[in-house]
Amino acid sequence: MSADARLEELMQHLRTELDLSRATLRLDVDVPGREAFPMTHEALAPGVDSVAGKVVAADGHPTVERIVRDRAWLVVDDCAGLARADSDFDRPVFWSMLEDYGGLAAYIAAPLFEGDRLVAILSLHQLGSPRAWTAGERETVAQALETINELRARYALEARDEDGS
């Protein structure tokens, strides 16, 4: 099975196993002609809209700034509560993301680094109402990140081969 197919299967597994609205994966694939840090995989619950093409720029976005600065996951049980409690998040760009992402109420943004370089972001979305992320759910995410790390070099190689690079 290709790395692409395994990653797609992993996103679907996370979406159903954790009862998510949406699971997305952005990979820095370093393929000529491809956008920087594209969303490569997405799994959606029935009736949930895709966020493909909705780019969250690293510059000026509090989620990306926080995970890069802290080199750690950002686990948000209540998006609106976070924005009210943390001035870094009480900005128009964050409130717009919540709306653009279909009423994002809770999320996990789990980065993967190679040295100092951010190479992947796994995002898990809960729409509608806040959610308390459990220790078991966090362990499932940690295992998924290990799998992503194992597959990402092969995925990039397959993507370059597919593009004829």
pTM of structure? 0.91
Q: Cα(48)–Cα(22) distance, rounded to whole angstroms?
A: 7
User: Mean pLDDT lowest for which of 31-40, 92-101, 148-157?
Assistant: 31-40
Mean pLDDT (the chain) is: 90
Q: Does residue 158 carry a pLDDT above 80?
A: yes
Average pLDDT over residues 65-87: 95
Contact yes or no for 30/156 (Cβ under 8 A): yes
Determine what percent of the chain is predicted with pLDDT higher than 70.
89
Q: Which of 40, 5, 10, 15 is nearest to 137 (CA)?
A: 15
Q: Which of 100, 93, 124 is nearest to 14 (CA)?
A: 124
DSSP calls for 128-160: SS--PPPHHHHHHHHHHHHHHHHHHHHHHHHHH
Contact yes or no for 127/103 (Cβ under 8 A): yes
Q: Which of 25, 14, 9, 24 is nearest to 133 (CA)?
A: 14
At residue 52, the pLDDT reads 87
Instruction: For residue 45, name the pLDDT band (cuts at 50, 70, 90).
Output: very high
